[in-house]
Amino acid sequence: MRSAGLLMYRKRHGKTEVFLVHPGGPYFRKRDEGSWSVPKGVIEGDEPPMERAVKEFAEETGRSVEDCGGGAELLDLGEVTQRSGKVVHAWAFAGDWPDGHEVVSNTFELEWPPHSGSRREFPEVDQGRFFDLEEARSRINGAQVAFLDRLVDELS
């Protein structure tokens, strides 16, 4: 499976911060470290990965790249393979998130509780926020730490 996503970054008080999202739904409710991610989604058929990344950012956050002050320039951060085998391609852009603005994510349906026959709807993302690079390294999915390292290299 292949996914594509965007890593928004900003400079605050001389430090680089990155915007990560936390997955919604009952399985991640109490998980924090190693659970956060770049906003991303599965690439459909022969869809261009960058196009999917831009769409997923908007679907999972409720704001477009332009809404966040991002322009046309996207930095290619390459690919990583997560423990699940999923390959994720990411790009980075400089942007910001308005204070007090909540993430508004698309939803998915899941049988919950398991084997109950009852189906419930959950947000794909239940929160999003900026972290400095040190904290981001502990929060982000382990394979995606490489995106942080590559971003630092690109910005230096």
DSSP assignment of 46-91 equals T--HHHHHHHHHHHHHS--TGGGT--S--EEEEEEE-TTS-EEEEE
Show me where the domains of the chain are located: 2-155
Q: Which CATH number fits domain 2-155: 3.40.190.90, 3.40.50.720, 2.40.128.120, 3.90.79.10?
A: 3.90.79.10
pTM, entire model: 0.93
Confidence at residue 30, expressed as pLDDT on a 0 to 100 scale: 83
* Mean pLDDT, residues 65-91 taken together: 93
The Cα 47–Cα 67 span in angstroms is 23
Share of the chain above pLDDT 70, in %: 99
- Mean of the per-residue pLDDT values of the chain: 93
pLDDT value of residue 101: 76
The CA distance from 1 to 149, in Å, is 23
Question: Residue 51 carries which side chain, given as an amino acid letter?
Answer: E
Task: Read off the DSSP letter of residue 103.
Answer: P
Q: Which residue has the higher pLDDT, 145 or 98?
A: 145
